[in-house]
Amino acid sequence: MKTDIKTQHEGVKWQDLTPGCVINGGGTAKEFNTGEWRVDTPVFIEDKCKQCLLCAPVCPDSSIPVVDGKRLDFDYDHCKGCGICAAACPFGAIEMRKGE
Q: How do 70-71 and 94-98 pair as beta strands?
A: unpaired
Q: What is the pLDDT along the chain (100 residues), one digit of tens a residue?
A: 555 555 566 788 878 776 776 666 655 456 678 888 889 999 999 999 999 999 999 999 899 999 999 999 999 999 999 999 999 999 999 999 997 6
Q: What's the rounded Cα separation, in Å, for the pair 12 and 49?
A: 48
User: What does the CA dihedral 100, 39, 54, 64 come to, rounded to 10 degrees?
Assistant: -50
d(CA 85, CA 98): 15
For the domain covering 39-100, report its CATH number: 3.30.70.20
Give the pTM. Answer: 0.68
Domain borders along the chain are 39-100
